[in-house]
Structure 1
Amino acid sequence: MDTRAVRYFRWLLFWQQQGRCCYCGEHVVLTYRPYDAARPYAATLEHLQRRSDGGTGHTSNLAMACKHCNNTRGGRDWLFYASWRRNEF
């Protein structure tokens, strides 16, 4: 996916998810500046089904997550991880 497509999908998901992370529900910051993109609350594109598990880059498999959640999810299932982050257990 090229840079324009990534920016478009990030903006679209930001709007659809009302500026909140798909896992923890916290507000994220949509930015394109490199020093802001490294912060834990920066918006990132997340593959719900990991590519290593057969997931694709199709728009139906993408969501917006904060950088912290995106980095700490690891190999967990996205639905389990979302419930765990929201303390639903």
Structure 2
Amino acid sequence: MENFLENITLTDEEGNDVEFEVITKLEIEDTEYFIVAPIDDENEDAIALKVLKDEDGEEYFATVEDEEEFNMVNDAFETLYDEGVIE
């Protein structure tokens, strides 16, 4: 994935395009993760997405649903935030 994405547009389950602000990109154990927040809904929490590849080698985003993996990404994000690396 591109290194300096500012916003991305994703399609929700209902087929609607939703624009997200990319808060930060993390690389953990050879996997890329993006922390994103919806631009139009300030009440919605940020979400963690990971970059996967399909059978053709094309990259796509998937939500982090495994609790242990989510906690690992969240801990990394909080550490960077606490250290002032990201705002």
TM-score range (shorter-chain normalised) is under 0.3
Structure with the larger RCO, 1 or 2 (CA within 8 Å, 6+ apart): 1
Higher strand content, 1 or 2: 2
Higher helix content, 1 or 2: 1
TM-score w.r.t. structure 2 length?
Answer: 0.26
TM-score w.r.t. structure 1 length?
Answer: 0.26
Whichever of the two has the greater Rg, that structure is 2
